[in-house]
Chains A and B, each alone.
Chain A
Amino acid sequence: MWMLQWLPNWIFYAVLIAGVFGLVVSYLIRFLSFIPFLYIYKTPIQIGSMIAIAIGTFMSGAIYDNDAWEARVKEMQEKVAAAEVQSKEENVKIVEKVVTKTQVIKTRGQDIVKYVDREVVKYDTKFAPGGECEIPKEFIKAINDAAEPPK
């Protein structure tokens, strides 16, 4: 509430107290005979007091409501901050998992390539073009077509 940001809360409580005080005084005004001119202001004092009570009551409620909302906002800010920390922690866990799995995949690939260089390479001459079991061009085409990215 912007009005509560401009003015301190005690002003509205003071307005409420002043209103109650003014209303009480307006009813006791007949007993204040030592101030004779005061009686003619009875009605304006009552109207002013009523307005002051209305404003004071409304703003007291507004202050209470504002305080409740500020507490809620503070609670939410703390939760959001905690969630951001938790989010970063989860990201670290995910990255660690990705790095570990990727390393396993790379190591396994390197091991298999070593195996190929050691064992499969023995059959290269057998499957060479013009050799005993030549690899058909259709086989290579099928592999390359499968490796083609979708367009």
Chain B
Amino acid sequence: MSVDLSTNYLGLRLRSPIVASASPLTGDPAMWEHIEQAGAGALVLPSLFEEQIEHDAFAVDHVLDSGTDAFGESLTYFPELESYDTGPSRHLALVELARQRLSIPVIASLNGTSPGGWVKYARHLEDAGAQAIELNVYNVIVDPHRTASDVERSYVELVEEVRAEVQVPLAVKLGPWFTSLGHLALALEAVGADGLVLFNRLYQPDIDLDTLYVKPRLQLSTSAEGQLPLHWIGILRGFMKCSLAGTTGVHDGADALKLLLAGADVAMTTSALLRHGPDRIATMLSWIEQWMVERDYVSIEQLKGSVSQRNVPDPDVYERANYYQVLHSWKG
């Protein structure tokens, strides 16, 4: 018996619920065919970082100006090149190429720093052919004078501004650190977000014990980290109509399936692909398919959200009580 693995995400019909999330792998055109053949439902390209574009532009500006016109024998130090590629053009070309080469949907990812930047680059990505845009709201609020409501309002305004300028579906990728995530989620949905991607993982600092330098460090996730998105997707699914994507901690078919059962429309995976290669997607799908067959499920749509907070006999397990139960069951 065959099962229908397709799913609806951001209004797009995906052939499978496993999405290759933004990573160096999805930025490498040589890997695209591999990812597609492995059965990915869609591919999210690496983020276009506005901050990086600005940094690069000023770095080039600085290098080209350093030491120039200061000493009669060496008025400059570098040849003038045709292009320094400081703008988004290379990234946009990547989007265009992905659209040409892939039959699965291509989702662009954007990380802006200025209100104008979000809108401008979202429009560029749409024009380049992205079938959806993931707004990767990736910042750490370090200003202790800024209130939570102010931060949330800025998120909502950002999505509202981008929504007004682009037509393709918008997903918002969030971190988990909100006092009332549900409230924010509803507000984002209300201003036009077509989906939420839960959760972002930040580059967090680490300390080098030899030099005592603080350096950003990104470790690949583990399955255990999948519990946080599972928790929130299970909660949000009950009162949100927009798409939900679970990301972080998706390493095998079981991890992905749990997210779907909790209410995700897709499970996104990065670390597993970096570790094991794109074929991991096929392994996950095969495992899910077998699980479904064994239990007479016919489609992903059938199981999505079936174990969400709303659909479980004891909704409290998604709430604080869960904390007590875990602690009380701990045997040491």
A-B interaction: no
Chain B residues within 8 Å of A, Cβ to Cβ? none
Interface residues of A (CB under 8 A from B): none
